[in-house]
Structure 1
């Protein structure tokens, strides 16, 4: 019986030591966890910034696409020709093709406008010219993008769209 009590006491002491050891390790780990930064907040912030930038880029592309669509609707003889040159680095070939076609249409419309009588300028084109002017584009660039002569662009800017 004494042997049994000694063995039981020895087991209880070892279990007590083991529980104290486990508890001290747990407390130590809790204290260490306070010193580590929470990386999930940084990841959440990065994802939020990324989603905002994607949203802004999407809106910017939609706005540009709307301008191109308006130009296409105003030019009924508009035809996209095959690629005549390689697009610049970083630019989508389709975008390059559309830009070339718009520039060709602008040049052809300028040739036609020199002999044709002056037509009233559509309000969409006027607002586009004013917006491009606000963005700091030159009169020549605005003329190409809006299919107007440089003189017409100057008149629209001078009149403020009236």
Structure 2
């Protein structure tokens, strides 16, 4: 009988002690819940900010007007133009089986543009990027003087 009384008293003591420990567990649960809510709010804020930045980057070229001098000085614009020219040439090659610029005559406006850019002292590579002609075509236009 002594063993059952001891076990019963230990059980009662453990039940009473468990009431005190539940409060600390609730406190920990509340802290974790508050932390998870704050992390959720912060991630939502970051997502909103990221969405705003992405929209600004997508809309910026439509609203920003650049002067020709700013375009001349911009290295990134030149790289974009080079990539665009390469894509256009690749598309023309895949469409026609050869570069269309070599088969078509060069328009007089482009010829005058090439000559004017040459007078301004631009390199053949830069002129070819701006006029969407190959460097060989630019050299031919410059050599012929527009004829």
**Do Structure 1 and Structure 2 share a fold, with TM-score over 0.5?**
no
Q: When the two structures are superposed, what TM-score results if normalisation uses the length of structure 2?
A: 0.40
Q: When the two structures are superposed, what TM-score results if normalisation uses the length of structure 1?
A: 0.36
